[in-house]
Structure 1
Amino acid sequence: MENAVRGDVGLRIDLERPRSGDGAGRESTSTDVLRIRYATDVYTAPTVERIARRLERILLTVEEDPEIRVGDIDLLDAAERTALAPATGPPPVTERLLPEILTDAALRTPAATAVSCGETRIDYRELDERSNRLARMLVERGAGPERFVAIGMARSVDSIVSIWAVAKTGAAFVPVDPAYPPVRIEYMLRDCGAVLGLTTTGERSLLPGTVPWTAVDDPEVVTETTRYTGSPVTDTDRCAPARSDQPAYLIYTSGSTGQPKGVVVTHGGLSNLVAHTRTLADHDARVWHGTSPSFDLAVLELLVAFGSAAHLVIGPPDASAGDDLAHALRAERITHFCTTPAVLATIDPAVPEDLSFVSVGGEDCPAWLVPAWLVEKWAPGRRMVNGYGPSEITVQMASEDLVPGRPVTAGTLGPGFRSVVLDTRLNPVPPGPASRIASTSRRRPLLRRPACSMC
C-alpha cells in the first residue's frame, strides 16, 4: 500500500507481476503483487487494510474455485462474522404493556403536568383517571385485546386521553388524521376493521360512517363516563386478558408504493424503546407533539414524554415548519423536539433557545444537509440524535449522536435488537457496500398481508 499524491486519484488498485529476473541473470520467484495507492485525505490506513484483506480473500477464493459466482464470495472473516452476523444491541428489558408504561408515569408524578394544549392542561392524575373511566365505557362497547379502535381526531388533549383509554382496554389504537383525503380515511377504516371509533363533535363530519363513532367531548358522553370508576383498569375489567404479543397500535404507511399498508405493532417492543427514550429525557422535559397522529414519529413523541413522566406540549396545527414552528417552540419553552430533517432545515436554530435535544428521523438524512447545515448548525450546544428504523419494528431500532464532521450512519442498536446487513443476495456484508438491513424484534406481519414485510 502506498500513499498517493494529494489531489491524485482517491484510490487505485493494481495487480502487478514483478519483472522476470533481477538484472543479474537470476529469475524472480515472486508472486503477483496487489498494489493499492490511496489519498490519505480521503482514506485512512485501517480502511485500506480492510479493503486489501477483502480483495485478497476474493482472489484466493476465485483461484480455488474459478466457477464461483462473484456474489457468492464471503467477504467476512471469522471475527467480522461473529461481530456482524448478527450485530446485537443491549439485552432486552422486561416486557410491559403500553397501558403499564403509561400508568407508571401517573404513579411516579401524579401532580405533574402531563399534557398541555394552549391554555388547557391536565396533570397525570387527571389523565389517568379520565382515561380509566373512558376505557371502561369502551370495553362495554366492544373494545378489547386483538381488536382495533380508530382515533379520528387531530392532536389535542382529547386525543391523548383517547389513546390512553384504548390502550387500557387492551385494544390497539389506529390513529386517523381527519385532515387526510376522505378516500384514504375510508380505506384505512375498512382495511383495519375497527370495532368503533373515537372523535370529537367538531371533527365527526370529516369522517365516514364506516365505524360507529363516539364523540368524546359530547356532553352526553362526558356525563356517561362519570358513572364509571376512575380506579386502575385490569384484566378483570377487560373482555379478555391483555398480553405482550397482542397489537398495541396500528399505523399505516404513506402509500407511496401503492395502497397504504397497515403495520401492526405489538406491545413486546415498547419497553425496549422506552428504555432508550429514558436516556434522552427526564421528568423535567417539555416534549413537542407536532407530528400528524397518523405518522409513527408521533408515537415516539408520546413515549419520549410519557416514558419519562415528562410534559407533552401539543403544537397548534399552523406551526408545522419555518418561522411559525420556531417561534412556537420558543413560546412553549420546548426542550425536546423530534422531527424530520426536512422540517428541521426550515427552522433557525437560534430561535428556540430552550431546546436541548433534537432527534431527526422518519426519512433519509440527506448528505447535502448533514455536514453543511443540520449537524453544524444544530448540534453545537445541544444533543442531536439521528434515529433509524422502519415502522414495523416499533418506530426505531438504532440511533446515533450527531457530531459535526462525522458521517451519519444507522447508529447503535437499541435494547433487544439483532440486526444483520445484507447484500442484494441476502448475504451478510462488511461495513461499506450498498446493502439493506434485516432486523429482528417482536412484531407481526403487515395487516392482511401475512407474506409481506417492510424490512
Structure 2
Amino acid sequence: MTTASTTASTTVYQVIEEQIRRTPDATAVVFGKTELTYRQLEARARDIAAALSAAGARPDAVVAVALRRSPDLVATLLGVLKVGGVHLPIDPAYPADRLEFVLSDSAPVVVVTDRATVESVAGTGVRCRLVEEIATARANPRPALRPDHLAYLIYTSGSTGVPKGVAMTSGALTNLLRWHIGVAEGGMGSRVAQFTALGFDVSVQEILSSLATGKSLVIPDDETRADPRALAAWLRQERINELFAPTPVIKAVCEAALEDGFDLPDLREVCQAGEALTLDARLGRFFLDSGTRLRNNYGPAETHVVTSHSLDDRDTEWPTVVPIGSPILNTRMRVLDSGLCLVPVGVVGELYVSGVQLARGYLGCSG
C-alpha cells in the first residue's frame, strides 16, 4: 500500500513560521500561570537561535537540550530548528553511563541546560549554555536550509546492543506534519497536553503539530504527569482537547476518571504510539460515551509515524486489538517473505517501509 503526494520543499521551521504569521496573538504555550503568544514564543526562539549560532550551531550540527518542561524548552526546540541544528533531547534523569555515551557519541556543539539540571551534564566535559542567561538578541539567524538537513536525533534504548542515534531529516518531519495537519481536528483555541517523554520521538510530533496548527500547548508539572489520578483531574481542569500517550497511561487515566466519578468532556482526540493498542470493553465504552476519537499511530524510531488508524463514535464496534492502519503521506508499506517477495493476503511476512519518512540512518554508522 502506498500514499503519494507532492513533497513540499519547505523546512520544519518554515511550517511553524507560517502559523506564527497567521496567528501571532494566539496563545502558543501555557505552563501554570505563564502564557506565551506565538509572537512571544518566536521572539524567544530567535534569541536562543542567535545564542546557538554564536556557539557554533549550524545545519547538521547537533545541539543537545537538557531542560525541564517549560516554555523555554519549547522555544529552544524552535531555536535549534531555526538555525538548522539537530535537536537532541536529553533527559537529565538518564543513568550516568547512558548520558555519557549519548553525549560522547553525538558530540554536540553545545548543550542547552538550566541551573536545575546543569550538574547532570557538566561532568561529561561538554560545553553548556544556561538558558536563563540567554538575553534578547538583535540577530535573527537565517541559514540556507534544505529538507535533507537533519532535524532531530533520537537514541534507541540499546536493548539489542549499543544505543544508536536515529538521524531524522527535516523533510521527513515536514511530511509528518503535513499529514498530521490534514487529519487533525480542531485549530486555534484547541489545547494540547505536552505529556510525552522528551526522549521519545512522539514528543517532537506532539509539540510541533500543536504549533503548526495554531493550537495551545499546555504543559503539566512533573508531579501531575506521574500520577494518573492527578493527570486525569488536570486534563479536566485545563480543558485539554488532545493527548498523546501510550496505552498504559491512557488506560490508567480513564480508570482514574471513572473511579473518581467524572468524565473528560473536552478531550476530543487521544493519540497512542509506542506499543500495540489493546482495548477492553470498559475503556472502549469510555471513549464511545465521550465521543473522543482514539488514534493508533505506528512506526519505529527509524521512521517516526508511518501508519495510523482511528476509531470514533461512528464505529459501531471497537476491536480488542486495534490495527496499525494505513500509510501516511508519501509512505509505502510492503509485507515480504525471506526472499523479499510480496506474500499473499493472510500469509505472515515482514513489514518493509519505504518513502519520505525513512531516517537518513544511524549517526556515525554508515553501514
Pair in the same fold by TM > 0.5: yes
Question: CA offset at residue 271 of structure 1?
Answer: 2.4
- Greater shift after overlay, 346-355 or 334-343? 346-355
Does the 8 Å contact 2:27/2:216 carry over to 1? yes
Counterpart for residue 280 of structure 1: 184
Counterpart for residue 399 of structure 1: 308
Question: Against the structure 1 CA distance between its residues 326 and 141, is the aligned structure 2 distance closer, same or farther, given a 3 Å change threshold?
Answer: same
What SS does structure 2 have at the residue aligned with 1:429? coil
What SS does structure 1 have at the residue aligned with 2:92? coil
Matched to 2:170, the amino acid is: H
Question: CA offset at residue 113 of structure 1?
Answer: 0.8
What SS does structure 2 have at the residue aligned with 1:134? helix
2:304 aligned with 1:388: no
**What is the distance in 1 between the residues matched to 2:348 and 2:279?**
19
Question: Against the structure 1 CA distance between its residues 254 and 351, is the aligned structure 2 distance closer, same or farther, given a 3 Å change threshold?
Answer: farther
Question: Against the structure 1 CA distance between its residues 336 and 261, is the aligned structure 2 distance closer, same or farther, given a 3 Å change threshold?
Answer: same
Question: CA offset at residue 388 of structure 1?
Answer: 0.8
Question: CA offset at residue 90 of structure 1?
Answer: 3.9
Correspondent of 1:194 among 96, 108, 114: 108
- Greater shift after overlay, 280-289 or 183-192? 280-289
Does the 8 Å contact 1:152/1:178 carry over to 2? yes
Matched to 2:146, the amino acid is: R
Q: Which whole-Å deviations, capped at 9, do the CAs of 1:367-415 have from their partners, x for residues lacking one? A: xx3243443432441111111111222x201111124334522211111
Question: CA offset at residue 316 of structure 1?
Answer: 1.3
What SS does structure 2 have at the residue aligned with 1:251? strand
Question: Against the structure 1 CA distance between its residues 431 and 373, is the aligned structure 2 distance closer, same or farther, given a 3 Å change threshold?
Answer: farther
Correspondent of 1:347 among 238, 253, 258: 253
Does the 8 Å contact 1:358/1:384 carry over to 2? yes
Matched to 1:265, the amino acid is: M
**What is the distance in 2 between the residues matched to 1:435 and 1:378?**
33
Counterpart for residue 364 of structure 2: 448
Counterpart for residue 179 of structure 1: 93
2:322 aligned with 1:322: no
Counterpart for residue 69 of structure 1: none
Normalising to structure 1: TM-score of the pair? 0.73
**What is the distance in 1 between the residues matched to 2:285 and 2:364?**
44
Alignment of 1:26-425 (within 5 A): 87-207=1-121, 208-217=123-132, 221-222=133-134, 225-229=135-139, 233-235=141-143, 241-278=144-181, 279-281=183-185, 282-318=187-223, 319-348=225-254, 350-365=262-277, 369-380=278-289, 381-393=291-303, 395-402=304-311, 403=315, 404-406=317-319, 408-425=322-339
**What is the distance in 2 between the residues matched to 1:193 and 1:262?**
11
Identify unmatched segments of 5+ residues in structure 2: none
What SS does structure 2 have at the residue aligned with 1:392? coil
What SS does structure 1 have at the residue aligned with 2:64? strand
Rg larger for: 1
What SS does structure 2 have at the residue aligned with 1:345? helix
Q: Which whole-Å deviations, capped at 9, do the CAs of 1:326-366 have from their partners, x for residues lacking one? A: 1111121100001111111111255433101111111122x
Does the 8 Å contact 2:297/2:305 carry over to 1? yes
**What is the distance in 1 between the residues matched to 2:137 and 2:325?**
50
**What is the distance in 1 between the residues matched to 2:137 and 2:201?**
34
Question: CA offset at residue 430 of structure 1?
Answer: 3.2
Counterpart for residue 25 of structure 1: none
- After TM superposition, which residue ranges in structure 1, 4 or more long, deviate above 6 angstroms? none
Root-mean-square deviation over aligned CA pairs: 1.8
% identical aligned pairs: 32
**What is the distance in 1 between the residues matched to 2:239 and 2:16?**
24
**What is the distance in 2 between the residues matched to 1:156 and 1:260?**
27
Does the 8 Å contact 2:193/2:218 carry over to 1? yes
Counterpart for residue 60 of structure 1: none
Does the 8 Å contact 2:46/2:137 carry over to 1? no
Question: CA offset at residue 321 of structure 1?
Answer: 4.6
Q: Which whole-Å deviations, capped at 9, do the CAs of 1:6-45 have from their partners, x for residues lacking one? A: xxxxxxxxxxxxxxxxxxxxxxxxxxxxxxxxxxxxxxxx
Matched to 1:405, the amino acid is: W
**What is the distance in 1 between the residues matched to 2:334 and 2:18?**
34
Identify unmatched segments of 5+ residues in structure 1: 1-86, 236-240
Question: Against the structure 1 CA distance between its residues 227 and 383, is the aligned structure 2 distance closer, same or farther, given a 3 Å change threshold?
Answer: closer
Matched to 1:257, the amino acid is: T
